[in-house]
Structure 1
Amino acid sequence: MDLDALRALIVADSATRGQPISKLGYFCAPFRPATGPFADKVIKVYRGLNDDAALDRLARCHDDYAAALRTAGVPLPVTEFLLLPVEGRRVPVIVQEALPSETMMRPLMQSGSRAQTIEMMESAGDVIATFWNNADQFHTRIGFHPSIRNFAIVDGRAVFFDTFPPLIHYSREEMGKMLLQFSDKALMRWVGPFLQKKVTGIQDEWYSPAETLVGLVGSACRLRPDDAGAYLEWGRDFTRRRMTRWEDEALLGMVEPPRLPGYWTGFRKLLGLQGEPNL
């Protein structure tokens, strides 16, 4: 990898490096260069820290997390984490093999027929169930954030591509602080410490097998409310087929269309994300 070219791309203006491919991100706005050696990559640049030990730990945890996802059977594009020296400080950067824009699950869910969207839900659900049924082997705190917008559908198969923050090894309290440290929104970093308990709670569904599935169903229901009944029916059936270990909790969460917690919708409005929810 040409690190000098990558460094130049990161410090270049947006017209040179390419427009963001998504503005929905909480931690950064990923971009894909239109030309050059990284034209087949998505680049994600995160806030740096002044704590070298914390950055080194972040790099180790990311490598462990990507390896764990693959070991657990999660399809993941080639993904590399770097601590790139930029203007005197090390900046966390992820360089990931780009997936075709037309494979992103969120817009496909918006444009597809009901039957097509249920097929996509089945593909994403398969990844969720496969991960959690294989996660016991890691013997460490590990989570998963399988939201609709963190999947692509490639040849009928769901591919997951979100590896930040690395949901492995960190305690609940540590992850709660990371949600503020690495937020791309200055307002969140300013207001968040006063609401640390609420911010920390954002992560809880990522560490709950039942809640990750319920979250997927809830996202689909909010995206296409007219089809909510069909998605609830699919979610309950999928639970009984593939996630029986967590059946009671998951079914309880799908009695009616799941809703986002009030504090998270409040944060979204505060950050100007209303209308484009982090599904």
Structure 2
Amino acid sequence: MTDTETPLDLAALETLIRSDSASRGEPISKLGYFCAPFRPANGPFSDKVIKVYRGLADPAALDRLHQCHDDYVQALKGAAVPMPDTQFLLLSMEGTRIPVIVQQALPASSMMRPQMQNGDLPETLKLMESAGQVIARFWHWAEQAPMRIGFHPSIRNFAVLDGEAIFFDTFPPLIHYSRDEMGKMLLQFSEKRLMRWVGPFLQTKVTGIQDEWYSPAETLVGMVGSACRLRPEHAAAYLDWGRDFVGREMKPWAEEALAGLDRPPKLPGYWTGFRKVLGLQGEPNV
């Protein structure tokens, strides 16, 4: 997690992206909402995760996306959120510019979700405490931020390595965009053609997906809810942890958070429906 960006061989990266899956390696996850990230099996990018997104016809919108992503990474660093080295590029390919994120790969064994699935109760509570500290740190920093900024600290967007929670999901960049603009982005960049086709008819509901990401209380409640769904046998302990944590570390938002922690939190019905239609079952998206 250094701040030094290593120059990338863009020609080699373009060749890698154009190559078939046999050459570049199978996707790490095929269930991502915006793309299916992959880690090459060999070559100069074998220690990187590559995330390739849909292009846009509007050059100004792409330039803005690039700037917002750079600003978001800097904001996360300013909030002392641990992150792998992350670079955003606009590659000129086939007559258009394609957004690409190149990120330092993390060990598969460090992903928080499988650790939550396989650990015993004390181990999983330590994982949640590590992630919770990052959530609290971000929102206390964001209280002083002049811009609209959000955070999506779901279990599947964290790794935990040597006791430290590491956040790695920087797309879409949750900074500067208005609520309506972000709602449209959720459709524009969706990898799922079905979502882009039916989404405009449900724009109000799609736009609402983001609201949790801009609420300090709901980001914490959302993580607790995910833990309860992953390990329902430990739900009571996770709720107890959440109530204790907001009292210790997130006092400005404790009242709102406590209201969502009186029972295992559930996903909104419309988002559950979208996930089932799109085949998104919460697998890691790194």
TM-score under structure 2 length normalisation: 0.96
Q: Among residues 230, 233, 246, which one is paired with 1:239 in the alignment?
A: 246
User: Partner of 1:47: helix, strand, or coil?
Assistant: coil
State whether residues 46 and 91 of structure 1, in contact with CA within 8 Å, keep that contact through their aligned partners in structure 2: yes
Q: Using CA pairs below 8 Å that are at least 6 residues apart, which structure has the higher relative contact order? A: 2
User: What's the counterpart of residue 214 of structure 1?
Assistant: 221
- Percent of aligned positions that are identical: 74
Deviation at 1:8, TM superposition (A): 0.5
Task: Give, as a single letter, the amino acid of the residue that structure 2 aligns with 1:180.
Answer: L
2:174 aligns with one of 167, 184, 203: 167
Cα pair distance change 1:96/1:276, threshold 3 Å: closer
Question: Does structure 1 conserve the Cα–Cα contact (< 8 Å) formed by 2:113 and 2:284?
Answer: no
Residues 259 and 131 of structure 1, relative CA distance in 2, 3 Å threshold: same
The AA in structure 2 aligned to 1:232 is L
What is the CA deviation profile of residues 58-95 of structure 1, one whole-angstrom value per residue up to 9, with x for unaligned ones? 00000000000000110011100000111111000000
Native 8 Å contact 2:31 2:279 kept in 1:
no
Equivalent position to 1:268, from 272, 275, 278: 275
Query: Match of 2:197?
Result: 190
* Alpha-carbon distance between aligned partners in 1 of 2:284 and 2:263, rounded to the nearest angstrom: 20
Aligned residues: 278
* Corresponding position of 1:43: 50
Q: Are the structure 2 counterparts of residues 275 and 156 from structure 1 closer, same or farther at C-alpha, using a change threshold of 3 Å?
A: closer
**Separation (CA, whole Å) in 1 of partners of 2:178 and 2:195:** 21
CA distance in 2: counterparts of 1:77 and 1:155, whole angstroms: 14
CA distance in 1 between partners of 2:246 and 2:32 (Å): 29
- Looking at structure 1, the residues matched to 220 and 267 of structure 2 have their Cα atoms a distance apart, in angstroms, of 13
Amino acid at match of 1:260: L
SS in 1 for 2:76: helix
Provide closer, same or farther for how the CA distance between residues 118 and 206 of structure 1 changes in structure 2, counting only shifts above 3 A.
same
Are the aligned partners of 2:29 and 2:284 in contact in 1 as well (CA < 8 Å)?
A: no
> Any idea what the Cα deviations from partners look like across 1:111-170, whole Å, max 9, x if unmatched?
111110000000000000000001123200000000001000111100000000000000
Show the counterpart of 1:250: 257
- Counterpart position of 1:2: 9
What is the alpha-carbon root mean square deviation over aligned residues? 1.1
Deviating more after overlay: 65-74 vs 18-27: 18-27
State the 4+ residue runs in structure 1 displaced beyond 6 angstroms: none
Consecutive unaligned residues of structure 1, counting only runs of 5 or more, are: none
Say whether 1:150 aligns with 2:157. Answer: yes
Indicate conservation of the 8 Å contact 1:68/1:138, yes or no: no
The 8 Å contact of residues 156 and 284 in structure 2, kept in 1 or not, is answered as no
- How far does residue 23 in structure 1 lie from its aligned partner after superposition? 2.2
Task: Report the secondary structure of 2:143's partner residue.
Answer: helix
**Does residue 234 of structure 2 align to residue 230 of structure 1?**
no
What is the alpha-carbon distance in structure 2 between the residues aligned to residue 277 and residue 108 of structure 1? 12
Q: Determine the structure 1 residue equivalent to 2:95.
A: 88
Q: Is the 8 A contact 1:268 1:277 kept in 2?
A: no
